[in-house]
Amino acid sequence: MKFAVLVFPGSNCDIDMHKAVEDVLGEPVDYVWHTATDLSGYDAILVPGGFSYGDYLRCGAIARFAPVMNEVRRAAEQGKFILGVCNGFQILTEAGLLPGALIRNQSLKFRCHPVDLRVENAGTAFTNAYKPGEIVRIPIAHGEGNFYCDDETLARLKANNQIVFRYAGDNPNGSVDNIAGICNEAGNVVGMMPHPERAVSDLLGSSDGARMFKSALQAFASQAASAR
């Protein structure tokens, strides 16, 4: 299985994401610049956190127009695995690959600390190694992580089991329905504000994020077996 870690001007979690794949899975992984026009050689695309294009206009609003995003859309349609974390989540919503929007934290403060998350959907490409209802500890680091959507969209997310993670206990940013992460209807595109790549070892305070990467490998193996 081969992973791509996208790099935009202003990305700052790309190295963390690259190291997570190397250390947890030992699978091939490349940095891919935002000008790339071919992702056909990759099975999973990781969109990391940071401040793409300095977060001018809105977070992710400029990155969505980068040439590589056309390829990300194509990969998503082909059923390849896409994970957007923090700024990556913001980019996926701006690009229309996931519903809703990420707005300024309700407190108007940047929040950077570990949080408890409840696993709501353990059937996605990135969560199949968890159990539904399990509480995991993964850090956040964002100023615009307040997930917002209208009532109709929220009802659809609930009906289609597209809410992947909810904040368990304290809601650090005021997100609608305590939402910390969502997926598309097919479950191959996941976006979340917490950083699993920063929680892949107990030395980092938690290893709960490692299973997101292991989930992708398991999902890929199952997909390959089904295709035979």
Please state the rounded mean pLDDT for residues 177-182: 98
Pairing of strands 81-85, 189-192: parallel
Binned at pLDDT 50, 70 and 90, residue 169 comes out as: confident
Average pLDDT of every residue of the chain: 96
Q: Which of 18, 34, 142, 195 is catalytic?
A: 195
Q: Which domains does the chain have, with CATH numbers?
A: 3-227 (3.40.50.880)
Q: Which of 13, 59, 86, 149 is catalytic?
A: 86
For 134, counting Cβ atoms within 10 Å of its Cβ (0-12 exposed, 13-18 middle, 19+ buried), the class is: middle
Catalytic-residue membership of 86: yes
Q: Are 213 and 24 in contact (CB under 8 A)?
A: yes
DSSP state of 209: T
Best CA proximity match to 89, nearest among 195, 171, 16, 5: 195
Give the C-alpha separation, 136 to 184, whole Å. 22
Q: Is the pLDDT of residue 57 over 90?
A: no
Give the C-alpha separation, 96 to 100, whole Å. 9
Percent of the chain with pLDDT over 90: 95
